[in-house]
Amino acid sequence: MANKVFSPVNFALKEEKVTRNNSTNGRGLVGISKVRTGVKGLDEITGGGLPQGRPTLICGSAGSGKTMLAMEFLVRGALEYGESGVFMAFEETAEELSQNVASLGFDLPTLISRKKMYVDYVHIDPSEIQETGDYDLEGLFVRLKLAIDSVGAKRVVLDTLEALFSGLKNQAILRAEIRRLFRWLKDHGLTAIITAERGDGTLSRYGLEEYVSDCVILLDNRVKDQVATRRMRIVKYRGTSHGANEYPFLIDESGFSVLPLSSLGLQHQASTQRIPSGISGLDEMLGGKGFYRGSTVLVSGTAGSGKTSLAAHFTDATCSAGQKCLYFALEESLSQVSRNMKSIGLDIKKHVDKGLLSFQAWRPSSYSLEMHLVRLHKFVEDFKPDAVIFDPITNLIMSAGDQLEVTSVLTRFIDFLKMKQITALFTSLTDATTAAETSDVGISSLIDTWLLVRDLEINGERNRALYVIKSRGMAHSNQVREFVITSRGVQLIPAYLGTQGVLTGTSRMIQEAQEAAERLRLEHDLERKQFTLETKRKTIEAQIAALRAEYEVAEKEATSVMEEAEAVRKQRGADRLAFAKSRSSNGAEHGKSTPVLERK
């Protein structure tokens, strides 16, 4: 029964002020005090933690996680709230416990050496116990009191109750001592956890522990369709309200993680900030600015229509802007996605190396739906991304086979992301035989922006097209846009309308070639007409020039004739005048006058 002394190990011990909560009613009356456990999600569903100074019973079948939860309660108390604790084990030694919880990242030897925790293994052999005379736990109380005083413990764990009373057959004595044990813990003001195995038709083996405990937590590890799911339920909690549903929880390398809420309210804030999709043509269809931050985007379509390529563009745009993106892949590994996206000019691996992209890939059949949800919550809480990619959500049906359950899980996850203002892009595989504007997982009404990508079969070929079914809060295009996946990424082609409607692929190329030929023919016709018109113009101008020249010659001839006639006339006048003068001169000489006849 002696405990082992561990050598001290370097360990960063974080001590903080103990946080306690007092529940109040609507009239301002103070209720019971609570002690925070430090277990993710547990404090939320218990309304602030476990009852201070009162015993809590953790019951469940083998392998449900009772010991791990109790140990984390003590470790978190020592590290985060400065409360020392005592762990009294009746089945496992201190070395075994230390090795077991090391997988959760808990360093018990260091805590023990710094007197933050006391681990005591009490060996009880049922064959050595005989029910003779009065039986009591006084020796246990003395030993427990010494352990508590040695470290100043505020928290105590007893693991497990069945091992302590395994040798007792007298039910009356057993029940009396169980009551006495719980009363002793209360009287000493210890916040205690007692673990117990689940009985046949009862919460505990003896059927009494749940009645004398102030708080009862039931852990369950059930298997459905060969997939295990861990669940927790607060069966009772005296003096306070608490969550009454079943909550899935996860045990991993960082300890317990409990999903606190089955569903969230509609109190999230709506952002007006816009973020790019990574494809300029798509941003233009969404008013030229992209998605709203904190909104949900659904890209649905048949196999091979380009859904993952669109998601990769958004991933690249997010990380290139210096923001963090969390990518959940249920079909392809990081290596495969990275290789495929390189073919279209996207290098997502560099974002992983920079710590901006966290890529998480697993098969949907690896976990149950509730465990998927717990893992999603945990990754989001740990990585704190600005955007989340889920590719594809329809694969979750493989882990449940029930669309209603998948819808419920996704609804809770979407509400969770909206509360944290995280932009989410989901891809959804649709059946080619069903209506295009349907979602196989039934979440279309929760989506803010819904993009549909599909293959159009025309003239013996398949071409990709995209259109926006809806985009809340923004003007968006109603056009069906053809897009191509090239070595430079996804490129949207402007809508092309022909006489038979929107044309794509070869039909578009043929129509464009025909229209180009028609434009060329018209241009040639115009050139010919312009040449003919120019020739006629020049001919007419030449004719006009010839007529003008002929006119000028005739004009010159007429002018010359007129000038000659005028000269003759003038000459004749001059001659007559001279002749007259000469006759006048002759008459004077002879003394005669010659009469001058007047011309009439």
> 369-413 pLDDT, tens per residue?
777 888 888 899 889 999 999 988 888 876 555 667 778 788 888
Q: Are residues 453 and 321 in the same domain?
A: yes
pLDDT at 165: 73
Residue 462's CATH number: 3.40.50.300
Q: Is the pLDDT of residue 347 over 70?
A: yes
Transcribe 270-319 into DSSP letters: PP--EE--S-HHHHHHTTTS-EETT-EEEEEESTTSSHHHHHHHHHHHHH
Dist CA 508 CA 522 (whole Å): 21
> In what side-by-side order are the strands of the sheet with 155-159?
117-121, 85-89, 155-159, 191-197, 55-60, 215-224, 227-237, 246-252, 255-258
In a domain, 361, yes or no: yes
pTM (global) more than 0.85: no
pLDDT at 13: 30
In a domain, 131, yes or no: yes
Q: Are residues 279 and 206 in the same domain?
A: no
Q: Are residues 328 and 358 in the same domain?
A: yes
Q: Are residues 91 and 223 in the same domain?
A: yes
Residue after which a domain boundary falls, among 507, 522, 549:
507
Q: Are residues 295 and 360 in the same domain?
A: yes
Render the burial of 382-417: b for 16+ CB within 10 Å, e for the rest.
Answer: eeebbbbbbbbbbbbbebbeeeebbbbbbbbbbbbb
Q: Is the pLDDT of residue 307 over 80?
A: yes
Q: Is the pLDDT of residue 8 over 60?
A: no
pLDDT at 505: 58
Q: Is the pLDDT of residue 324 over 70?
A: yes
Q: Is the pLDDT of residue 288 over 80?
A: yes
In a domain, 114, yes or no: yes
In a domain, 192, yes or no: yes
Average pLDDT for 166-188: 80
Dist CA 83 CA 62 (whole Å): 29
Q: Are residues 253 and 286 in the same domain?
A: no
- The larger pLDDT score, comparing residue 103 to residue 78, is at 78
Q: Are residues 281 and 229 in the same domain?
A: no
* Pairing of the two strands 291-292 and 274-275: antiparallel
Q: Is the pLDDT of residue 359 over 50?
A: yes
Q: Are residues 165 and 283 in the same domain?
A: no
In a domain, 549, yes or no: no
In a domain, 494, yes or no: yes
Cα→Cα distances 457→160, 384, 468, 498, 504, Å: 67, 42, 20, 16, 9
| Mean pLDDT, all residues of the chain | 81
pLDDT at 481: 86
Structural domain including 89 reads 33-258
Q: Are residues 284 and 217 in the same domain?
A: no
In the chain, % helix, strand, coil (3-state, to 5) comes to 40, 25, 35
Q: Are residues 250 and 300 in the same domain?
A: no
In a domain, 561, yes or no: no
In a domain, 121, yes or no: yes
Number of domains in the chain: 2
Residue after which a domain boundary falls, among 507, 529, 560:
507
Transcribe 76-100 into DSSP letters: HHHHHS---EEEEESSS-HHHHHHH
302-306, 365-369, 487-491, 575-579, range with the lowest pLDDT: 365-369
User: Which range in 163-172, 301-310, 336-345 is most confidently predicted, on average pLDDT?
Assistant: 336-345
Dist CA 321 CA 243 (whole Å): 40
Q: Is the pLDDT of residue 356 over 80?
A: yes
> 516-536 pLDDT, tens per residue?
777 888 888 888 888 888 888
* Pairing of the two strands 155-159 and 191-197: parallel
> 437-483 pLDDT, tens per residue?
665 566 778 899 999 998 877 766 788 889 899 999 999 988 888 88
Transcribe 446-502 into DSSP letters: G-SEEEEEEEEEETTEEEEEEEEEEETTS------EEEEEETTEEEEPPP-EETTEE
Q: Are residues 227 and 158 in the same domain?
A: yes
Transcribe 31-60 into DSSP letters: EEEEE----BTHHHHTTSSEETTSEEEEEE
Dist CA 504 CA 489 (whole Å): 19
Average pLDDT for 570-574: 84
Render the burial of 244-263: b for 16+ CB within 10 Å, e for the rest.
Answer: eebbbbbbeeebbbbbbbbe
pLDDT at 596: 47
Q: What percent of the chain has pLDDT over 90?
A: 35
Residue after which a domain boundary falls, among 450, 472, 507:
507
86-90, 142-146, 552-556, range with the lowest pLDDT: 552-556
Q: Are residues 442 and 296 in the same domain?
A: yes
Question: Helix, strand or coil for residue 265?
Answer: coil
